[in-house]
Structure 1
Amino acid sequence: MSLSTDAAFFCILSDSYRRLLGKSLVPDGMSASEGAVWLYEAAPFGILAHNTAPDPIFVYGNKRAQTIFGYDWNELTALPSRLSAEAPERSARQAFLEQVARDGFVTDYRGVRITKSGTRFWIEHATVWQLMDAAGNYRGQAAMLPEVKRITDSD
């Protein structure tokens, strides 16, 4: 079953975000079903989530994230999340994810990522948080990407 518009998975994403950051991931007043569709189809920011595997795999990427990284749903949800960064950036990415695990979330993150075609870009002002279900079980990590910027020669 696809998690793209799954209301139960949406609740894990949005409830974890609200608990940790004290704000809503979607416009107020939406049901879980409406929020799941809005987040996947219409959100103006990218959302990614990976699972708890030893080499975590993306289990979710909304339409905006698919556009940013150049993968369709099936490609993205088969991709180890570490491959969203180039090899030299992976150790910095891993240290950052360990900080998220320790603190629950990190805001205003900036890092270099790579598209399917190999184009490098900055993610700016990202928020990454721990995904916890209603029973308190760890379910992975998620990231909101509100801004991306092409890398230029001056970077």
Structure 2
Amino acid sequence: MTSMIEFPWQQEAIIIHSQRILNSFQHWLGYSLLDVTGSPLEVAQALFAAPFVLASHGTEENPIFNYGNRKALEQWEMFWDEFTRTPSRKTAEAVEQEERNRLLADAGTKGFSYFSGVRITSTGKRFQIEDGILWNLLDEQNQYCGQAAVYSKCEFI
């Protein structure tokens, strides 16, 4: 395997995870994250190529990213294999951790939460996110399996 996986949406686990992301968003927010039809593979490809930043992490004690679409990988300046080994807390500076923890807990209780905040790329560039949405991911048995976040508005500071 190379250091850069160009087509992660073709992996069976990512195809399934893409459906979880979309289904969970619809469940909590009542509308579709992405208007797309087609086979599960085509849907996974469209989500990966979507015009917004989308990332998710698992349920580990120190959650690790398990998905980032192309825009997320570009935003955090990482390849897929590096991104999917990164603890999600590493994208927020220490001064932002308390607010990030509050946001994660709020979404954990309500199912989703709106957010804004400063995050940091893998090379130390800071950016301000506006109008983000964080939501709980549910598996096919409706069991909690992580959280995802999406945003379109951000500015480097």
Alignment of 1:6-85 (within 5 A): 6-40=14-48, 42-85=49-92
Aligned-pair identity in percent equals: 37
TM-score relative to the length of structure 2? 0.89
**Partner residue of 1:126 out of 129, 132, 137:** 132
Give, as a single letter, the amino acid of the residue that structure 2 aligns with 1:4: P
The aligned length equals 148
User: After alignment, is 23-32 or 8-17 more displaced?
Assistant: 23-32
Change (3 A) 1:28 1:38: closer
Q: Distance in 2 between matches of 1:28 and 1:70?
A: 27
**Partner residue of 1:117 out of 120, 123, 148:** 123
1:87 paired to 2:82: no
Where does residue 150 of structure 2 map in the other structure? 144
Runs of 4+ in 1 over 4 A off after TM superposition: none
TM-score relative to the length of structure 1? 0.90
1:4 paired to 2:12: no
| RMSD of aligned Cα (Å) | 1.5
Q: Distance in 1 between matches of 2:40 and 2:133?
A: 21
Give the SS at the match of 2:85: coil
Change (3 A) 1:11 1:19: same
